[in-house]
């Protein structure tokens, strides 16, 4: 994965335009690989949320064995109930799921009986690029020890030093496109998307993007996703208007509060109206303030960071920023399923965490540094079930028009079956100058 300077042989990041060691311009990166062939459609998705307060924290490189067993157990119960209630779930599907989960449960219980407390995660979200040394001229990030800026070529030690504030406030420009589509199988669209600006003090603005994927019956799912986006948007606008959070941690706390406000509202409304009982929704929030990206997520609507020049520590051009809160994703973590099996797995839409199904909810948050050339993509599972990461990346990074990129992604998912509602938000980050 490592690239080297053709002039002096020093290692360089794949995204570098100038050698950090000798300062000479570097050749353009090789073109991206061709798109992968279309994927199979699989069965129509069966949606559901595992009942009552299931907690499963993905931290470090292991999962708590008891927490995982609880979630797998409630998965077995969920399929047993679906089997007896004669829902859309076929008996064959339910029988296979129960059999599969029972085997996993046996293996996990044996490990617990042998005294193990945790289970190792074999597949994790990738480590992202990390820049310790900001260029005093353009503000771009560089690795510690670099002599020349990889973006503008400035000599890092000798370039005139501006104040930290000036570097931090380097202007970035955002272009946004959003699209949501019913797909070709469902009768209504239970996804909700929102993009808009939030006014901050001093004439500054933050960009807010939301994707929610509702579930719990057609009308209830639609209501839940709209309510969650509306409540979280209003909360963020209200709370950041006068005193915007000063740090990443404070932004993350505010995003968690916004998701929890949405959770309480959806939960209360589901209790108040029997036709809406059990409704829930995913919620993924991306908020861009200055050159920082803040993310919060509950469920399996994803956020990706893309850049032709590389976004991970080893220079890969795409990274998923969110963890799917689905049983299937955790089975991938522990090596029970491959990511490719998970993508078409009949249980892929069974979540253990969602907005509105329990009185309280755990919310994942993170913050990342943005660079010109970055693209942020949020989407519901109706897109990723049909379109692979490599194709997402090629279309989102390759199209000059973001609107066209969003339209192409939705069309591609529909061409391959459109089994679920399809939503996508794409944000491109560029130099303002």
Segments in 120-217 forming alpha helices (H): 164-168
Cβ-based nearer residue to Ca ion, 100 or 213 = 213
Q: Residues 97-105: contacts with CB within 8 Å, 24+ apart? A: 97/346, 97/347, 101/72, 101/75, 101/76, 101/327, 102/76, 104/72, 104/331, 104/336, 105/69, 105/72, 105/73, 105/76
Cβ-based nearer residue to Ca ion, 134 or 382 = 382
Q: How far is the CB of 222 from Ca ion (least distance, A)?
A: 12
Q: What Å distances lie between residue 185 and 233, 300, 320, CA to CA?
A: 29, 20, 27
Q: How far is the CB of 80 from Ca ion (least distance, A)?
A: 23
Cβ-based nearer residue to Ca ion, 215 or 261 = 215
Cβ-based nearer residue to Ca ion, 310 or 382 = 382
Phi-psi region of 310 (alpha: psi -120 to 50; beta: other; left: phi over 0): left
Q: How far is the CB of 388 from Ca ion (least distance, A)?
A: 17
Cβ-based nearer residue to Ca ion, 327 or 429 = 327
Q: How far is the CB of 327 from Ca ion (least distance, A)?
A: 15
Angle at 230 between CA 225 and CA 232, to 5 degrees: 95
Cβ-based nearer residue to Ca ion, 87 or 117 = 87
Do 335 and 343 touch, CB atoms closer than 8 A?
no
Q: How far is the CB of 193 from Ca ion (least distance, A)?
A: 12
By the rule CB under 5 A, 181 interacts with Ca ion: no
Q: How far is the CB of 281 from Ca ion (least distance, A)?
A: 10
Cβ-based nearer residue to Ca ion, 368 or 381 = 381
Cβ-based nearer residue to Ca ion, 324 or 381 = 381
Task: Tell me the pairing of strands 280-281 and 205-215.
Answer: antiparallel
Cβ-based nearer residue to Ca ion, 222 or 381 = 381
Q: How far is the CB of 264 from Ca ion (least distance, A)?
A: 23
Q: What Å distances lie between residue 93 and 42, 80, 99, 104, 240, CA to CA?
A: 12, 11, 10, 17, 47
Stretch of 16-24, 28-36, 351-359, 376-384 lying at the interface with Ca ion (CB under 5 A): 376-384
Residues 6+ apart with CB under 8 A from 161: 136
**Token pair for residue 39?**
């994927």
Say how far residue 105 (Cα) sits from the centre of its chain: 28
Q: Determine which residue in the list 381, 389, 391, 399 makes contact with Ca ion, applying CB under 5 A.
A: 381
Q: How many residues bind Ca ion (CB under 5 A)?
A: 4
> Residues 401 to 430: which contact Ca ion by CB under 5 A?
420
Distance, CA of 261 to CA of 231 (rounded, Å): 7
Distance, CA of 354 to CA of 31 (rounded, Å): 39
Instruction: Give the count of beta carbons closer than 10 Å to the beta carbon of residue 429.
Output: 22
Distance, CA of 109 to CA of 303 (rounded, Å): 33
> Residues 188 to 217: which contact Ca ion by CB under 5 A?
213
Cβ-based nearer residue to Ca ion, 213 or 391 = 213
Q: What is the largest CA-CA distance in the chain?
A: 73
Q: How far is the CB of 421 from Ca ion (least distance, A)?
A: 6
Q: How far is the CB of 358 from Ca ion (least distance, A)?
A: 19
Torsion angle of the four alpha carbons 194, 195, 199, 204, in this order, in degrees rounded to the nearest 10: 160
Q: How far is the CB of 389 from Ca ion (least distance, A)?
A: 18
> Residues 118 to 157: which contact Ca ion by CB under 5 A?
none
Distance, CA of 396 to CA of 418 (rounded, Å): 19
Do 367 and 295 touch, CB atoms closer than 8 A?
yes
Residues that bind Ca ion (CB under 5 A): 213, 381-382, 420
């Amino acid at each position: 994965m490592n690239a080297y300077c053709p002039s002096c042989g020093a290692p360089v990041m794949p995204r570098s335009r100038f050698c950090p060691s000798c300062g000479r311009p570097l050749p353009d990166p090789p073109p991206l690989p061709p798109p992968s062939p279309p994927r199979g459609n699989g069965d129509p998705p069966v949606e559901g949320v595992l009942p009552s307060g299931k907690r499963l924290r993905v931290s470090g490189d292991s999962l708590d064995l008891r927490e995982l067993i609880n979630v797998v157990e409630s998965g077995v119960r969920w399929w047993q109930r679906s089997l007896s209630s004669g829902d859309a779930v076929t008996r064959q599907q339910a029988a296979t799921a129960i059999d599969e989960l029972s085997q996993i449960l046996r293996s996990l219980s044996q490990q617990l009986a042998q005294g193990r407390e945790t289970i190792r995660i074999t597949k994790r979200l990738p480590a992202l690029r990390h820049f310790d040394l900001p260029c005093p001229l353009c503000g771009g990030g560089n690795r510690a020890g670099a002599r020349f800026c990889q973006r503008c070529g400035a000599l890092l030690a000798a370039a005139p030093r501006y104040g930290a504030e000036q570097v931090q406030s380097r202007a970035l420009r955002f272009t946004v496109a959003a699209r949501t589509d019913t797909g070709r199988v469902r009768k209504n669209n239970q996804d909700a998307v929102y993009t808009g600006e939030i006014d901050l003090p001093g004439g500054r603005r933050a960009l807010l993007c939301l994707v929610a994927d509702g579930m719990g019956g057609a009308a209830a799912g639609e209501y839940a996703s709209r309510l969650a986006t509306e409540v979280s948007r209003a909360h963020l606008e209200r709370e950041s208007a006068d005193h915007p959070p000063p740090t990443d941690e404070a932004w993350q706390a505010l995003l968690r509060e916004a998701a929890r406000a949405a959770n309480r509202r959806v939960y209360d409304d589901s209790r108040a109206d029997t036709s809406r009982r059990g409704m829930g929704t995913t919620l993924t929030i991306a908020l861009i303030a200055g050159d920082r990206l803040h993310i919060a997520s509950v469920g399996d609507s994803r956020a990706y960071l893309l850049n032709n020049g590389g976004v991970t520590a080893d220079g890969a051009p795409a990274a998923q920023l969110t963890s799917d809160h689905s049983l299937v994703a955790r089975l991938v973590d522990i090596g029970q399923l491959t990511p490719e099996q998970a993508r078409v797995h009949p249980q892929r839409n069974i979540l253990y965490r969602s907005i509105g199904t329990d009185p309280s909810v755990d919310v994942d948050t993170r913050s990342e540094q943005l660079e010109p050339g970055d693209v942020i993509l949020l989407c519901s599972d109706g897109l990723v079930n049909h379109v692979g990461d490599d194709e997402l990346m090629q279309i989102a990074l390759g199209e000059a028009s973001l609107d066209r990129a969003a339209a192409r992604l939705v069309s591609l998912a529909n061409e391959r079956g459109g089994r679920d509602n399809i939503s996508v938000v794409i944000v491109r980050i560029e130099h303002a100058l």
